[in-house]
């Protein structure tokens, strides 16, 4: 059965990568949450997508140049013009506290494609252990060296290679590196690509699936996880599919 993951939380309706968006994703019936992790100037893991705070907050500058106390003053929902009050950039710790007793799988995307954030792998692993989330996380990154580094530190966790490009022999590539999940842009998932990935026994977790038509197509192809901005929509597509197969 295909699973329904909320991309940056319920980001289609709420400010992305905020605790509000994560809570709303759970309320919407998502099976999991995808989020992006970077480090502040003082090395604290925080949840934000861009390297710059400019697009999603009322501040300016690079996450890596701002200490936590200063970063926490910013409003990550300011583009909603007060509709949802003030929502700070969450720390990864705050998220772990929230999710630790929920039946939610978290796809932690390590945003190390521009800045490598040395030591981020150890910090995330320490927190996964502290909150006993070992069986409830999938680690992914566009930086595949990050994945291999973290896999060495914590081989018991589940890992995925993220890609934007249309990779040739992606199943073989993941298999060669002992990585069990492949996280491609959904547009690259042709029938042939899915067949090759399944041949290697890979789990296919794809983003960013925002329309009913694409969701139906990918469910039919047997994709494992749909990562999208509208978890309520994906839930109803999945429910309609199971109604159909039961009748």
- Assess 16 for contact with Mg ion (CB under 5 A): no
Q: Please state the closest distance from residue 195 (CB atom) to Mg ion, in A.
A: 26
Which of the residues 163 through 222 are near ligand G3P (CB under 6 A)? 183, 207
- Assess 16 for contact with ligand G3P (CB under 6 A): no
By CB atoms closer than 10 A (0-12, 13-18, 19+), residue 237 is buried
Print the binding letters for residues 25-54 with ligand G3P: x by CB under 6 A, - otherwise: ---------x-x------------x-----
Q: Please state the closest distance from residue 141 (CB atom) to ligand G3P, in A.
A: 9
Nearest to 145 by CA among 167, 123, 165, 117: 117
Q: Is the previous residue joined to 208 through a cis bond, with omega within 30 degrees of 0?
A: yes
* Smaller CB separation from Mg ion, 54 or 220: 54
- Assess 36 for contact with Mg ion (CB under 5 A): yes
Q: What is the DSSP annotation of 122-170?
A: HHHHHHHHHTT-GGGEEEEES-HHHHHHHHHH-TTSEEEEEESS--TTH
What tokens does 162 get? 């993220």
Among Mg ion, ligand G3P, none, residue 144 binds (CB under 5-8 Å by kind): none
What tokens does 201 get? 């026994």
Cβ atoms 96, 130 nearer than 8 A:
yes
Which of the residues 123 through 142 are near ligand G3P (CB under 6 A)? 140
Which residues are the active-site residues?
A: 7, 49
Residues of this chain that interact with Mg ion (CB under 5 A) are 36, 109
């Amino acid at each position: 059965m295909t699973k329904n993951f909320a991309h940056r939380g319920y980001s289609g309706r709420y400010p992305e990568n905020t605790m509000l968006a994560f809570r709303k994703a759970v309320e919407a019936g998502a099976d999991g949450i995808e989020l992006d992790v970077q480090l502040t100037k003082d090395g604290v893991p925080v949840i934000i997508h861009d390297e710059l705070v400019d697009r999603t907050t009322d501040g300016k500058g690079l996450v890596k140049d701002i200490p936590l106390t200063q970063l926490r003053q910013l409003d990550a929902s300011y583009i909603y013009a007060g509709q949802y009050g003030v929502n700070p950039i969450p720390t990864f710790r705050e998220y772990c506290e929230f999710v630790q007793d929920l039946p939610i799988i978290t796809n932690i995307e390590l945003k190390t494609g521009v800045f490598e954030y040395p030591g981020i792998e150890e910090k995330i692993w320490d927190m996964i252990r502290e909150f006993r989330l070992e069986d409830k996380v999938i680690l992914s990154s566009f930086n595949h060296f990050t994945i291999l580094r973290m896999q060495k530190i914590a081989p018991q966790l589940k890992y995925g290679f993220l890609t934007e490009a249309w990779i040739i022999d992606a199943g073989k590539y993941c298999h060669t590196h002992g990585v069990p999940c492949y996280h491609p842009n959904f547009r690259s998932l042709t029938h042939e690509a899915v067949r090759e990935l399944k041949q290697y026994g890979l789990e296919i977790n794809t983003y960013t699936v925002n329309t009913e038509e694409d969701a139906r197509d990918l469910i039919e192809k047997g994709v494992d996880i749909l990562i999208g901005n509208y978890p309520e929509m994906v839930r109803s597509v999945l429910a309609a599919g199971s109604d159909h197969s039961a009748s």
